[in-house]
Amino acid sequence: MREAVYQIAYALNFEAETDVIKLVSAQLKINQTHAKNAHARACLVMGKMSELDAAIENVSKEYAIDRIPKAELTILRLGAFELLFDNDMPEKVAISEAVRLARKFTTTDGSRFINAALDALIPEKSIA
CATH of the domain at 73: 1.10.940.10
What pLDDT does residue 91 have? 93
Residues 120 and 75 in one domain: yes
Q: Are 44 and 82 in contact, with CB atoms under 8 Å apart?
A: no
Residues 70 and 93 in one domain: yes
Q: Are 113 and 72 in contact, with CB atoms under 8 Å apart?
A: yes
Is pLDDT above 90 for 29?
Answer: no
Residues 23 and 75 in one domain: no
HEC sequence for the chain: CHHHHHHHHHHHCCCCCCCHHHHHHHHHCCCHHHHHHHHHHHHHHHHCHHHHHHHHHHHCCCCCHHHCCHHHHHHHHHHHHHHHHCCCCCHHHHHHHHHHHHHHHCCHHHHHHHHHHHHHHHHHHHCC
pTM for the whole structure: 0.87
Residues 24 and 57 in one domain: no
Its domain, for residue 31, covers 2-46
pLDDT tens readout for residues 61-90: 778 888 999 999 999 999 999 999 998 999
Q: How far apart are CA 119 and CA 4, in angstroms?
A: 23
What Å distances lie between residue 16 and 39, 42, 97, CA to CA? 11, 12, 25
Residues 111 and 60 in one domain: yes
Residues 98 and 73 in one domain: yes
Residues 68 and 18 in one domain: no
Residues 67 and 92 in one domain: yes
Provide the number of structural domains found in the chain. Answer: 2
Residues 38 and 55 in one domain: no
pLDDT tens readout for residues 32-61: 888 889 889 999 999 999 999 999 999 987
